[in-house]
Structures are given as structure tokens and as C-alpha cells.
């Protein structure tokens, strides 16, 4: 006589799920160590590194697995979101700072690369709140500031005269806001060019149409565009000053890969931050 057995509901997590979670956590820890090492290597430079570029480089050195590459509701890969959240631990520990001008490693952050020289040691120190041992030196390569390099000459493309509206926007963005913070210089215009252009009454990938132009909130220093989009899969980039000479894709990278997202249909708002060159999306 055959018997029917009910599935076990003991509350135990299947082994393969545990292994997957451990693998994701270990990969995130490894990338977090890379982030700190990248920051340390560039600590002597005058220009602070862009956060998006640092995260992208960490993901390049330790590529996302198939599971980590899964796009979440905001169109961001799971691995990228995990790493972004993990960098908050570096800030809490006082090892790095994040500002409008970029990311910067602190002296204690530099010493942390010496005291906790592996991903496991770094993760354990962050998890336990371990203090950096007294007397830990700075890394040798950061004790002297690298010689400044002369940037290569760039051909400046001809620009159309700015309208009164865009001139006012740029002027407002360079002034001091109500909180006393000096805003970064803003571009004359920012457009979102992508596969949703036709849905907004423009041509797809056309950055010149008025319907895809973002509006600057001069107080927050952030550009915004709200729209009603039908359900679908979309790709787009942030395009500056009405042409493709300067455009930013995923992670705020110049000429980077397209932003991608799946939309269930309805209102959506995009936010472009010129300090990070990245676009965030909210529904």
C-alpha cells in the first residue's frame, strides 16, 4: 500500500539556498574590499573618485553571478544594490565619506587596508565593530602624493547659445542654497533619451525633444522628469546639453551601458544627480 507524505515544514532553509546566500555575501565582501583598495590607491589625487565608477570597477574585477545580475524593481542589479548598501558600513566605521564632490577615504580607512588585508578580515571587523590596532601605519603608496598629470587636450564642440531659462538654471545651481551648501556647476540641459521616447510624444533616443527634458530643482541640485509610461521593458541614458557628446549610462559612467528597467505601467519619476552622473527611478 502506498503512502502519501506531506512536505516537511520544519523551518529549515534548503542547503542550496544557504549556499547561495553565503556566496552572495562573500562576493559582496570581496567587492567591498576592492572598493576600499580602489579608494586607497587614488587617495593622493586632487579629484575625488566618482562613486558610480568605483562600484563599476569593483563589479568588473569581481563580476556578478547570474543571481546577482538579476534586475530588481528599480532596474538595478541585485549585486550592485547589495554592494551599495555595504558601502554604508564603511561610512559608519569612519573609513570613508560620501559627498556631492565624490567619495573619499579617510586616514583610518587607509589604515584599515593594512590592518584588515583580506575580504574576510575586513567583513569581520565591520561586523564586530573592531577598532584598528594602535600604531597601524598608512599604506606606503599613499604616504606621498602622486605627481599631477597634465590632462590631454580635448576638442571642445561648438555649443548653441543658452536660452534665458537654461542660463537661469545654471546660475541658480552654482549659487549657495538655503542650507549654506554651494551647489555644483550644472549642465545647461539634461534629457532622458531612450526607448520610451515615442510614449512621451518624441522619437526614441532623441535628446532634443522638449518632452524628454528634465527640470532642475536648484535647491536640491537634482534634475527631475515625471512621466506616465505603458507597461514594458525600457532602456535609456542621461544626455547633456542636447547632444550625445556627453552622456551617462548605468552607474553614472560616461558612454556607459544603458539603464534598463521593467515597468508595470503608470507614473514614474526619474532623478539625475550631476554629482554622481547617475539616474535613480521611483514609481
pLDDT of residue 15: 52
**Other Cβ atoms closer than 10 A to 56:** 19
174 pLDDT above the threshold of 50: no
16 pLDDT above the threshold of 70: no
Domains: count for the chain = 2
pLDDT of residue 282: 80
Same domain? 103 vs 196: no
Same domain? 136 vs 19: yes
Mean pLDDT of 34-49: 86
The listed range with the strongest mean pLDDT (59-63, 167-171, 254-258) is 59-63
Structure confidence by residue, pLDDT tens digits, 186-242: 999 999 999 999 999 999 999 999 999 999 998 888 999 999 999 999 999 999 998
Same domain? 168 vs 265: yes
Q: Is position 131 within any domain?
A: yes
pTM above 0.85, yes or no: no
Q: Is position 5 within any domain?
A: no
Same domain? 46 vs 134: yes
The Cα 137–Cα 122 span in angstroms is 16
2 pLDDT above the threshold of 50: no
pLDDT of residue 144: 37
What lies within 8 Å, CB to CB, of 34 at 6+ separation is 57, 58, 61, 62
Give the domain extent around 115: 15-142
pLDDT of residue 103: 86
pLDDT of residue 176: 45
Q: Is position 1 within any domain?
A: no
pLDDT of residue 257: 83
Same domain? 89 vs 171: no
Please state which of the ranges 118-132, 146-160, 255-269 shows the lowest mean pLDDT: 146-160
End residue of a domain, out of 81, 108, 142: 142
Same domain? 129 vs 175: no
Under the banding of pLDDT at 50, 70 and 90, the label for residue 165 is very low
Cβ atoms of residues 198 and 227 within 8 Å: no
Same domain? 114 vs 195: no
Same domain? 60 vs 113: yes
pLDDT, the chain, mean: 79
CATH code of residue 264: 2.60.40.10
Same domain? 223 vs 255: yes
- Helix (H), strand (E), coil (C) string for the chain: CCCCCCCCCCCCCCHHHHHHHHHHHHHHHHHHHHHHHHHHHCCCCCCCCCHHHHHHHHHHHCCCCCCCCCECCCCCEHHHHHHHHHHHHHHHCCCEEEECCEEEECHHHHHHHHHCCCHHHHHHHHHHCCCCCCCCCCCHHHCCCCCCCCCCCCCCCCCCCCCHHHHHHHHHHCCECCCCCECCCCCCCEEEEECCCHHHCCCCCCCCCHHHECEEECCCCEEEEEEEECCEEEEEEEEECCCCCCEECHHHCECCCCEEEEECCEEEEEEEECCCCEEEEEC
Orientation angle between helical segments 78-92 and 51-61, nearest 10 degrees? 120
Q: Is position 148 within any domain?
A: no
Q: Is position 154 within any domain?
A: no
Same domain? 131 vs 179: no
Structure confidence by residue, pLDDT tens digits, 111-150: 999 999 999 999 999 999 999 999 999 998 643 333 333 3
pLDDT of residue 73: 64
Q: How many CA atoms lie within 13 A of 54 on its CB side?
A: 27
Tell me which of 183 and 281 has the higher pLDDT: 281
Q: Is position 39 within any domain?
A: yes
Same domain? 211 vs 177: yes
Q: Is position 158 within any domain?
A: no
100 pLDDT above the threshold of 70: no
Residue 144 sits at φ, ψ, to 5 deg, of -120, 140
End residue of a domain, out of 108, 142, 176: 142
Same domain? 273 vs 233: yes
Cell of 167: 542660463
Q: Is position 191 within any domain?
A: yes
pLDDT of residue 20: 67
Amino acid at each position: 500500500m502506498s503512502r502519501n507524505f506531506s512536505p516537511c515544514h520544519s523551518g529549515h532553509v534548503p542547503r542550496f539556498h544557504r549556499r547561495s546566500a553565503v556566496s552572495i555575501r562573500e562576493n559582496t565582501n570581496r567587492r567591498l574590499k576592492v572598493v576600499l583598495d580602489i579608494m586607497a590607491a587614488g587617495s593622493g589625487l586632487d579629484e575625488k573618485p566618482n562613486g558610480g565608477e568605483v562600484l563599476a570597477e569593483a563589479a568588473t574585477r569581481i563580476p556578478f553571478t547570474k543571481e546577482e545580475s538579476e534586475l530588481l524593481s528599480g532596474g538595478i542589479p541585485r549585486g550592485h544594490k547589495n554592494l551599495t548598501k555595504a558601502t554604508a558600513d564603511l561610512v559608519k566605521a569612519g573609513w570613508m565619506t560620501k559627498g556631492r564632490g565624490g567619495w573619499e577615504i579617510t586616514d583610518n580607512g587607509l589604515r584599515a587596508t593594512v590592518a584588515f588585508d583580506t575580504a574576510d578580515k575586513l567583513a569581520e571587523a565591520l561586523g564586530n565593530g573592531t577598532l584598528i590596532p594602535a600604531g597601524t601605519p598608512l599604506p606606503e603608496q599613499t604616504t606621498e602624493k602622486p605627481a599631477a598629470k597634465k590632462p590631454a587636450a580635448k576638442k571642445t564642440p561648438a555649443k548653441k547659445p543658452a536660452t534665458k531659462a537654461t542660463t537661469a538654471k545654471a546660475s541658480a545651481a552654482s549659487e549657495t542654497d538655503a542650507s549654506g551648501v554651494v551647489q555644483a556647476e550644472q549642465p545647461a540641459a539634461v534629457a532622458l533619451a531612450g526607448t520610451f521616447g515615442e510614449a512621451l510624444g518624441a522619437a526614441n533616443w532623441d535628446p532634443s525633444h522638449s518632452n524628454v527634458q528634465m527640470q532642475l530643482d536648484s535647491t536640491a541640485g537634482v534634475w527631475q522628469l515625471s512621466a506616465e509610461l505603458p507597461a514594458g521593458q525600457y532602456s535609456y541614458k542621461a544626455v547633456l546639453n542636447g547632444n550625445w557628446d556627453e552622456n551617462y549610462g548605468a552607474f553614472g559612467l560616461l558612454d556607459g551601458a544603458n539603464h534598463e528597467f521593467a515597468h508595470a505601467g503608470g507614473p514614474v519619476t526619474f532623478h539625475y544627480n550631476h554629482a554622481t552622473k547617475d539616474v535613480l527611478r521611483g514609481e
